[in-house]
Each structure stands twice: as structure tokens, then as C-alpha cells.
Amino acid sequence: MAVPIFALGAMILYLVLLAGIARYADRQREQGRSIVSNPYVYALSLCVYCTAWTFYGSIGRAASTGLGFLPIYLGPTFGMILGWLMVRKITRISKEFRLTSISDFVSFRYGRSYAIGAIVTIFSLMVITPYVALQLNAILSSIQIMGGESDIWMGTKFLVAALLAMFCIIFGARHLDPLERHEGLVAAVAFESLVKLVAFLAAGIYITYWLFGGYSDIVQSVLKIPQYNHLINIDYPSWFSLTLISFFAMLLLPRQFHLMVVENSDESHIKKAMWLFPLYLLLINLFVPAIAGAGLLLNTPGLQDMFIISIPLANDQVLLALLVFIGGASAATAMVIVDSVAVSTMMLNELEMPHLMRFIGRGKDLPTLLLTMKRINILLVVGLAYLYSRVVQYQSLVDIGLVSFLAASQMAPAALGGLYWKKGTRQGAMVGMIGGFVLWIYTALIPSLTKVGWLSGDLANGGPFGIAFLRPTALFGLELDVWSHSAFWSLLINVFLYVLVSLMSRPTPEEAALAEGFVDVYREDKERLPAGRRAIRVGTVAELEATLARYVGEVKARSVLDADLASLNATRGTVDARQLLELWDRMERTLTGSVGPSAARLIVEEKVTVQPVMEAVRATEPKYSLRAGRIYLVPEKGYEVFTDQITHGIEGLCITSQDPEEVRQSWRFTETPIIRLTQKKACPGRCISPTNLPLLFITIKAFVESSKNSVILLDSLEGLIQENAAVVPDDEVLDFVNQLERLATGSRTRLLLPARPEFVHRPMAAELNHAENLIFSVGPMPSYLLQAFITAIISAAPEASRGDLVREVNRLLESRDLFGRFRGEPDEGASCDPDMRSNESQARRGIKVDPELRMSRRDFFTVLRRLVKAMRVVDPEVDPQRVLDDLMAKYGFSRFEFYLTPGMTYVIEEDKPRRSMEIFSELVHLGMDGLCISRYNPESLLERYEIDPQRVIWLTQRAEGPYRSVDPTNFPRLSSMITEFLSRARDPLILLEGLGYLITQSNYETLLRFIQSQRDDIALKGAILLVHIDPLSLDTKELHRLKSEMETLDAGTKKAGVEKGPELPGKT
């Protein structure tokens, strides 16, 4: 009796030692001296893979199947060979998005899917419960072997379970950590890995070289005994399938994911683990065949799994047996601790938080509640496992490890597929996993439960309803071992459904963006957050901190925020809009780490979304016909038009500075959400400060994205601009209007902007006015835009010349010459309110753009060209190309709008007119009036370049079909068509292509004369003519004469064009 009590005491002391190690590691971390952040500890922690099932079970498998235990360790070895490709990628993604469990990882990849997270968690819990029970039973069995069978040990199991649960809570749920990193726990697990290796090697050396004459002695002796001849053979299908599922298990088991990914502090540690972990696996298995053989040769009584303890005990090596017992306990406790912590986090994030979010009040102490729930989860996992272990004996659990591995493998298609395949969708992942799990239950779990007597053999042996063809162990007549059979069917169906359903379904924009973020995680130029959600989540720093504090506590929130601010080189007082945007991005990640992706999304959405709701539909026809994707300026009837739309089946959002109740009563809409623009902090309903433009924008964006057919009333843009004048930087207002325009014109919404005629820069009709180029149409936006461009160009100029440049620009801005004929004179009553002038920012920048300036889009680029040219005269070093390209992209302009000067004729040299067509199409889509004279069929131009056939004159001698055409010899006709076009176009652009054909059909001189005459017309009308030439179709002299009539445009290729643009004005 003394031995087992001694063993139990030793185990308790050992747990106390582990607690000491963990505490020491935590303290070191608090002092900034991490002992865990090194590759050796990291590699050792991964060896949690070797549980009691390895420590004891490998020997049992070796004694019954020979080398059949090895695939369980070869799989992870192969996995680590791909460590730098796969593990690093998973780690990078998880760090980037703060994913803290395998369920977070899979659910986040598929659009933060609550359902997928819940499925993964439930199955993890199902798998972990018997697996943890196995560990408890293994500890108890080893104690029983040391002390003999007795009922008194049942109490020991409870004691062990209670101790382990306590240990898990202390070191896995002592406080909330947004990153879910637990250095104490990692240190303890790494230490345990060392202990179990030392114990195993000590027992192996003793048995192999002390009791026997070495490895060869044991192996040869075993092979001489006929009843063990089968140990020579390898069951190859089983070998392969076990290798495969253990490869997946090494990546996807909750404990492996936790230690390998979540606890990883440095990606470079993976390199060390790539060889240390497989080496560990090799070493711990080195003596397995020898110990198993020795046990068989010595006819050791009891469980074959326990040979490693029973052989030393039978030879009176009590201390060695005790060491082995501690090694086994190490293997078991490490698994229980890490899995309990990992699965409890998964339960909290995936199952509880999404529901909790809906029911908890604002006054609750959330951090304490979250911690408590996590601790309860740990108790639940260990408690369930304890109850399970009470009803099932160790012998019945030996296959549980493989059943668990198979279950974990069912996550592989969704998890690993999502890592490399962008087309994998939420539906595909869900259907695939469910299909795989169903097959797993049918082909693996049912046979296992039948084997231990929990189910009758009727189903497993005879098939359902006696249909042998559907037997769980030989589905459709496929006769294999149970593991290969289950792996084959479950993974086949899983992968098949995943791929098929993914191809048949469409991802949401957010899901597609997340897929990009996962698959292209190494791409330097990718958006840091998925594009679809990039501009979401903005408020004040105080709002941000308060939101975060609710979930992680005030102290933690403050420290996280301070660290983030420091990393952005900002303070609470100086943070700008862009930094604030980044802070909110980071906050969502921090929350994802704390409460999981589903709940983090709910928290963020709670703050920003407005759900689209439809009003009761009237049985009349709508009075106003509005097209989706358009912006309308409405002088008087904004609310009337809006009400007309929302009562005819369109979902509406009303943004107003008026009292929402008054609006509702006046216009009699009940369901449609109203956002009030007010500075008041305590206002009923949904309110947004008019100066919080980013929050207002994301609210609108969230609404637009969640509705398929919507209308938005913003009353009023003018008031909004006035409120923000001198409060926020002009470019923030500009960005708001620009983003709003791009959002409205790129979606299925209609944007109604009630506006006074004086606010708009063009004559307006009484009712609806389609606003193209909003940014050039209202208030001080053109001047804000010009100011933004000039400021950026001067900022990029050499510092020494900036003062001169500012002076020159201001001189030009004040002179009428710069603006020429289109100078915006302040009409009576048309001027913007003086408050709109952001004098402060102008003074700060030194650029004085008149806020009353009115410019069309074309005028804007003319002014900009003149300014750039003048700046290059002041300082030839000014090279604004990159700045201009960035700004053009930001505001959705084409770079050619700047580089092409009205009144000029340009020649584009390329063999096929591909780039010429692209430029033409691009400019026409941006609002220029285009005419394309081409040898190509208008139908093919529509298909290839989206050029409207109405804009094409087809050079052909076969005047058939619905298209406008002209005979290539009929230059007078062509000329009159061009003249007619120029007379009616506001912003004309002509592309002439097919010169080779024209020359062939007439002659070179005629063509040259035609171009010369058109060139004059072009100059007079302020149009732009692009002429495509294939340089090889003309001889050198002809080419030179033609080119001398025109400017050369270096259009480049589409890609190269980004790097090298056309020549800048003023370049010498």
C-alpha cells in the first residue's frame, strides 16, 4: 500500500512543482523577461501531442500490431516538414486577426460564421470529453498497477480531476488576455514534455539493456515465436490512413492549435520546432518496440499498455516505476490542462458570447462575467470527462485517441482548404463538415461504441435494417480496417461536399474579402483588413476605450489602447481620422481575441448598423422614378420623394437634423430608421454627431451593404459641411463626400440630397436633378479638392522650394489668368456660407483656395495642369507623378484626365489598339463624351472594352446592321460626323483607329490632310483626339510626318502605366 500512496503523494508534489514553474513563468512575463519566448520551449510545448495515449498506448499498439503505432508519429513529422509553409501561414493569419482557437480560425475564414464556429466547438467538446477521460483513467490505471486493484482508488480519480481543474483555472483562466496567451501554462507543459521523455528513455534503456541484451536480443527473440509472427507485417491501408489523420490532428486538435499557433510568440520559432518536434517523436518511440517485445517475452501480466510500469515493478525497480508513473502523469495532465483551456475558450467565444451579447445589460461587469464563464467551462470539460471515466474503463478507451483524430480530421478540408482556396464558401464548409461528421459518427463512432458494448452489434455487424451493403464497417462493400474505412468515406464525402457546394454558392463580399485576407496573407500590398469592411468602425477614442473596457476591463483597455496609440505615434489628443480608423480595426481584433469573431462582430455591429426595414407598400404606382446607383439633388421635395420611394417597396434610411418624431408624423412613415444628426450627447433613438463623419459614413455603408434595394435621404449635406467647417480638416469632409458618392454610384441605392439651388453649381430643375460628379457640383468641394491636390504636391516637393511654391501657387490662384473663362464668380446668394471657409486649415497649409471657386471636372484638371506647370518652372525638381497617381486613384479619377490636355491631338503607338481602347473606355466611363472611329465591329468593342456601340463609327464598306458606319474612302462624310459630334458634346473625346485601313482604301496624303483639318477643329472646340498608329504599318518618313502633327502619348501597358505615366506638363 505504501507504494501507491507514495506515488499519489509524488504526483501531488509534482503538480505543485508544475504550479511553481507556471507561476515563475508568469511572473517573469510580467517583468518583461519571458522564459517561454524561445524556440526550445515552444518546440517542447508542441510535444503535448504525446498524451497518456502515446505514453502507454503506443506500447499496447506495438504489442498487438507491431510497427502499427508509428504512423501516429510520422503524420506530425510530415506536418512539421510543411511547417514553414503551412504552420507559419496559419500562425500569421491567427496573429493578424487575433484568432485564439481552431473554431475562431475556421469560423472567421468563412465570414465570421457563428454556425461554423458552433459546429467546430460542439464536435471538439464531443471529442475531448472521452479523450480527457482516457487521461484520467490512464493515471488511475497506473496507480492501480502500482498498488493493486482496489475501490479506494476511485476517490483518487476525483482528487486528480479536481486538482487538474484547479490548475487549469489558475493558469488558463486567471485573467482575461485578448491574445489568450498563457506563458505559465506553456512553461509547465514544456517541462512536462521533458519529464515524460526522460522517464520513457530511462525505462527503455533499463528494459532493453539491463533486462535484455539489447534491442536485437528482444526483436530476434520475439520474431522466433510463431504467435508473434504477425507483428512483422504492416497493414498498408491502415498505415497510410493513420499517417494522414495524424497529420491533420497535429494541425487541428484544439490543444495543438493552441500551443502551436496561439502561444507562438515568434514565427521563427517554427523553424526550430520543425526538427525538434519530430526528433522528440522519434526519441520517445525509439524503445516502444523493445518495451512491447520485452513485455511479451516476459509474459507480463495486466494491460499491455502498462508494460512500461509493470516490467520495472515486477523487477523491483520501484523508483524507476515511480519515475515512469510521473512521466505518464505528465503526459496526461499536460493534455488535460491545455485541451480544457482551449475548449473552454472555444465554448465561450463560439457558443456563449454570441448569445450573451444579446442579453447582458450595460451595467454588468463583463470582464468578471467572462472570466467566470470560462472557469465554469473548464470545470464542465473536466467534470464531464470525470463522469465519463467513471462509467468507462481504460481498456474501453484505447481506441478513443484514433476516434478523436478522425473527428479532428473532419475540420481539415474547411480549415486547410480555406487557407489556399479562395472559392471555398461558408455553405461549402458547413455542408462538408456536417457530411464528414455524420460519416464519422456512422463509420468510426458506432463501431467503437459497439466494440466497448455500449451499442448492440446488430447495426455494426449487420447494417441498418439488416442491409449488409450499408454496414458501418464495410460501407458499400468496402472492406478495410475500421480507421482506413472511416477516413476514406468521411474525408471523401467531406471534401466532395465542400468543393461542390462552394462552387455552387457565392460568398458574401465580406467572406470573399476574408478569403483574400487568408489566402494572400503574405501579400505586401493587401488591405490590412478585408476590403469590404475596411472603412467600418470609427468613433472617438473615448468611445473606443469604453467599448473595449466593457469586455476586457478598464485597466486592460487603457493599456491596450495606449500601446496601440504609441505604435501609431499618436496620443489621445493628437490622433487623426486615419489613425482612429486603424485603432478601431485593432479594437475589433482585440475583441476577437477576447470574445471570438462572432461576438466581436456583434459588438461592432451593435454600434454601427441600421437594419433595413420596409414600410407598408401602397397599392399605387410610385410618383417618382429613381434609378439605383444614382445621386439626386432635390431642391424642395426631398421628403416627398423619399416617402414615395419607401412606400413603394424600397428600404429607406433617413438622416436628418430634424426631430425624428416630427419627421415621422409629418411624413407618416413608421418602420424606416431615422438617424438624427445632433451634437447632443443624450438624445433618444439613434444619433450621430454631424462632426463624426467617419461614423456617419460607415453607418450609411453598413445600411447600403445590407439592403438590396434602398434609398437614403441625407438632409442636408450643406448643413453637414457647415457643421464641419473649421472643426475637422477640409480633406476629411472631402473624403466623406467622395466616399459617399462612390458608395452611392457603386451600389443598389439612391441617394437623395435636399439642396438649396445656391448650394449647387449648376441650374436645377424643380424636382429631381441627377448629380454626376457630386464632388464638383456642390458647395466648397471643388476648392477642397484643389487644395488637397496642391497641398499633396507641395508636400512632396523638395523642402527648400516649398515656400516659393506656396507663394507662386497663391499668386496664380489670386490671378484670373489661371482660371480663364470658367472662373467661378460669386452669384448673388450663391456663395457658400462664410463659415464654410476653413480658414484655419488654409492658413496652416499656406494655400489660399477660394472656397467659392466653381469648377467642372474638366476645369479642375485644366487648373491643376497649369499649376503643376508653373510649379515646375519654380523648381524643375518638382515631380508630382506619384502623388498625383495616388490622389487620382483615391478620388476615382483617371490619370489621363490630367495628362491629356483639351484641344490637343495625341498619337498612341502600339501594334494593336488595345491600350488606346482601354483609355478611351476609361475616360468615357468617367463622364467624357466619347466618339470612337474604328475598324472594329461595334459589337466586339462593347464586349471587349465596354464601349457603347452608340459611341462608335464603324469604318466599313458594308453599311449594314444597326450601327453607325462610314465608308473608309468617304472623308467628307466622316468629317461632317465629327463636326456634328463636336457641336453637341460638352467634354469631347475622339479616338481614331484604323489608319492602316484608311490608307489602304484611299491614300496617305488624303489621310494626312484629313487629320490636319480635324486637328484644327479639335483645338477650336477644346476636344481631345487620340490617334492610334501601328508604327510598322507606315514607313519612317510617313510616320514622322504624321507624328509631327500630334503629341505622343506614352500610354504604356496597363500595369506599366502605373509605374511610368505620360509626360508631365512643364517637363523639359
Partner 1 sequence: MTMKLSRDGLLEHGEFWLLLFVAGVILLNWPVLAIPGFASGPFGIPWRLVYIVAVWLLMIAFAYFFDRGSS
Distance (Å) of CA 305 to CA 54, 56, 59, 310: 9, 5, 5, 9
Taking the complex as a whole, the smallest distance from the CB of residue 210 to partner 1 amounts, in Å, to 17
Q: Which of 23, 272, 890, 1043 lies at the binding interface for partner 1 (CB under 8 A)?
A: 272
User: Do the bridges between strand 952-955 and strand 965-966 make them parallel or antiparallel, or are there none, so unpaired?
Assistant: parallel
CA triple 262-266-268, angle to 5 deg: 125
Mark 156-190 as b/e (b = at least 16 C-beta within 10 Å): bbeebbebbbebbbbbbbeebbbbbbbbbbbbbbb
Binding to partner 1 by residue 312, rule CB under 8 A?
Answer: no
Q: Which is nearer to partner 1, 221 or 747 (CB)?
A: 221
Binding to partner 1 by residue 77, rule CB under 8 A?
Answer: yes
Taking the complex as a whole, the smallest distance from the CB of residue 523 to partner 1 amounts, in Å, to 15
Q: Which of 178, 204, 278, 447 lies at the binding interface for partner 1 (CB under 8 A)?
A: 278
Amino acid at 54: T
Q: Which of 150, 216, 666, 940 lies at the binding interface for partner 1 (CB under 8 A)?
A: 216
Please state, in angstroms and rounded to a whole number, the distance separating the CA atoms of residues 858 and 938.
27
Taking the complex as a whole, the smallest distance from the CB of residue 282 to partner 1 amounts, in Å, to 5
Sign of CA dihedral 938, 943, 947, 948: positive
Please state, in angstroms and rounded to a whole number, the distance separating the CA atoms of residues 115 and 111.
11
Binding to partner 1 by residue 694, rule CB under 8 A?
Answer: no
Span 559-588, contacts to partner 1 by CB under 8 A: none
Q: Which is nearer to partner 1, 213 or 466 (CB)?
A: 213
Q: Shortest CA distance to 95 belongs to which of 448, 625, 578, 522? A: 522
Q: Which is nearer to partner 1, 39 or 927 (CB)?
A: 39
Taking the complex as a whole, the smallest distance from the CB of residue 194 to partner 1 amounts, in Å, to 18
Q: Which of 5, 159, 282, 1056 lies at the binding interface for partner 1 (CB under 8 A)?
A: 282
Q: Which is nearer to partner 1, 218 or 774 (CB)?
A: 218
Taking the complex as a whole, the smallest distance from the CB of residue 156 to partner 1 amounts, in Å, to 38
Taking the complex as a whole, the smallest distance from the CB of residue 299 to partner 1 amounts, in Å, to 22
Binding to partner 1 by residue 205, rule CB under 8 A?
Answer: no
Please state, in angstroms and rounded to a whole number, the distance separating the CA atoms of residues 160 and 691.
60
Binding to partner 1 by residue 68, rule CB under 8 A?
Answer: no
Q: Which of 68, 147, 184, 289 lies at the binding interface for partner 1 (CB under 8 A)?
A: 289
> How many chain residues are in contact with partner 1, going by CB under 8 A?
34
Q: Which is nearer to partner 1, 420 or 454 (CB)?
A: 420
Please state, in angstroms and rounded to a whole number, the distance separating the CA atoms of residues 472 and 469.
9
Q: Which is nearer to partner 1, 113 or 208 (CB)?
A: 208
Please state, in angstroms and rounded to a whole number, the distance separating the CA atoms of residues 576 and 588.
19
Q: Which of 67, 314, 438, 1008 lies at the binding interface for partner 1 (CB under 8 A)?
A: 67
Q: Which is nearer to partner 1, 244 or 351 (CB)?
A: 244
Return the range that interacts with partner 1 (CB under 8 A); candidates 71-79, 303-311, 366-374, 831-839.
Answer: 71-79
Orientation of helix 71-81 relative to helix 236-252, angle to 10°: 50
Q: Which is nearer to partner 1, 83 or 436 (CB)?
A: 83
Distance (Å) of CA 494 to CA 241, 707, 736: 15, 33, 46
Mark 80-111 as b/e (b = at least 16 C-beta within 10 Å): beebeebbbbbbbbbbebbbbbbbbbbbbbbb
User: Do the bridges between strand 630-634 and strand 769-770 make them parallel or antiparallel, or are there none, so unpaired?
Assistant: antiparallel
Taking the complex as a whole, the smallest distance from the CB of residue 222 to partner 1 amounts, in Å, to 10
Q: Which of 150, 220, 665, 940 lies at the binding interface for partner 1 (CB under 8 A)?
A: 220
Binding to partner 1 by residue 42, rule CB under 8 A?
Answer: no
Q: What are the strands, taking DSSP E only, across 338-383? A: none
Binding to partner 1 by residue 85, rule CB under 8 A?
Answer: yes
Taking the complex as a whole, the smallest distance from the CB of residue 273 to partner 1 amounts, in Å, to 9
DSSP character at residue 760: B
Convert residues 234-253 into a mask of x (bound to partner 1 by CB under 8 A) and - (unbound): x-x--xx--x----------
Q: Which of 174, 271, 422, 742 lies at the binding interface for partner 1 (CB under 8 A)?
A: 271
Contact 653, 710 (CB under 8 A): yes
Binding to partner 1 by residue 217, rule CB under 8 A?
Answer: yes
Binding to partner 1 by residue 163, rule CB under 8 A?
Answer: no
Please state, in angstroms and rounded to a whole number, the distance separating the CA atoms of residues 711 and 747.
11
Mark 668-681 as b/e (b = at least 16 C-beta within 10 Å): ebeebbbbbbbeee
User: Do the bridges between strand 988-992 and strand 769-770 make them parallel or antiparallel, or are there none, so unpaired?
Assistant: unpaired
Q: Which of 219, 314, 727, 818 lies at the binding interface for partner 1 (CB under 8 A)?
A: 219
Query: Mind spelling out the 3-state secondary structure of 27-88?
Result: HHHHCCCCCCCCHHHHHHHHHHHCCHHHHCHHHHHHHHHHHHHCHHHHHHHHHHHCHHHHHH
Binding to partner 1 by residue 82, rule CB under 8 A?
Answer: yes
Binding to partner 1 by residue 224, rule CB under 8 A?
Answer: no
Please state, in angstroms and rounded to a whole number, the distance separating the CA atoms of residues 409 and 490.
9
Q: Which is nearer to partner 1, 419 or 864 (CB)?
A: 419
Binding to partner 1 by residue 214, rule CB under 8 A?
Answer: yes
Binding to partner 1 by residue 417, rule CB under 8 A?
Answer: no
Please state, in angstroms and rounded to a whole number, the distance separating the CA atoms of residues 599 and 592.
7
Q: Which of 80, 250, 406, 1024 lies at the binding interface for partner 1 (CB under 8 A)?
A: 80
Q: Is the peptide bond before 716 cis (omega within 30 degrees of 0)?
A: yes
Taking the complex as a whole, the smallest distance from the CB of residue 522 to partner 1 amounts, in Å, to 10
Q: Which is nearer to partner 1, 62 or 514 (CB)?
A: 62
Binding to partner 1 by residue 76, rule CB under 8 A?
Answer: no
Taking the complex as a whole, the smallest distance from the CB of residue 309 to partner 1 amounts, in Å, to 24
Amino acid at 304: Q
Please state, in angstroms and rounded to a whole number, the distance separating the CA atoms of residues 813 and 807.
10
Q: Which of 15, 25, 63, 74 lies at the binding interface for partner 1 (CB under 8 A)?
A: 74
Return the range that interacts with partner 1 (CB under 8 A); candidates 216-224, 323-331, 883-891, 917-925.
Answer: 216-224
Contact 910, 1028 (CB under 8 A): yes
Q: Shortest CA distance to 125 belongs to which of 437, 414, 520? A: 437
Q: Which of 4, 68, 83, 507 lies at the binding interface for partner 1 (CB under 8 A)?
A: 83
A 10 A CB-CB count for 755 gives 25
DSSP character at residue 554: H
Return the range that interacts with partner 1 (CB under 8 A); candidates 278-286, 299-307, 784-792, 1057-1065.
Answer: 278-286
Return the range that interacts with partner 1 (CB under 8 A); candidates 76-84, 180-188, 416-424, 558-566.
Answer: 76-84
Q: Which is nearer to partner 1, 276 or 714 (CB)?
A: 276
Which value, in Å, is the radius of gyration of the alpha carbons in the chain? Answer: 37
**816: helix, strand or coil:** coil
DSSP character at residue 955: E
Please state, in angstroms and rounded to a whole number, the distance separating the CA atoms of residues 651 and 633.
19
Cell representation of residue 979: 463636326
Q: Which is nearer to partner 1, 271 or 890 (CB)?
A: 271
Instruction: For the chain, give percent helix, strand, coil, nearest 5.
Output: 65, 5, 30
Q: Which is nearer to partner 1, 282 or 617 (CB)?
A: 282
H-run or E-run covering 988? strand 988-992
Return the range that interacts with partner 1 (CB under 8 A); candidates 11-19, 70-78, 801-809, 866-874.
Answer: 70-78
**244: helix, strand or coil:** helix
Return the range that interacts with partner 1 (CB under 8 A); candidates 158-166, 273-281, 301-309, 834-842.
Answer: 273-281
Q: Which is nearer to partner 1, 232 or 563 (CB)?
A: 232
Q: Which is nearer to partner 1, 216 or 983 (CB)?
A: 216
Chain contacts with partner 1 (rule: CB under 8 A): 67, 70, 74, 77-78, 80-85, 214-217, 219-220, 223, 232, 234, 236, 239-240, 243, 268, 271-272, 274-275, 278-279, 282, 286, 289
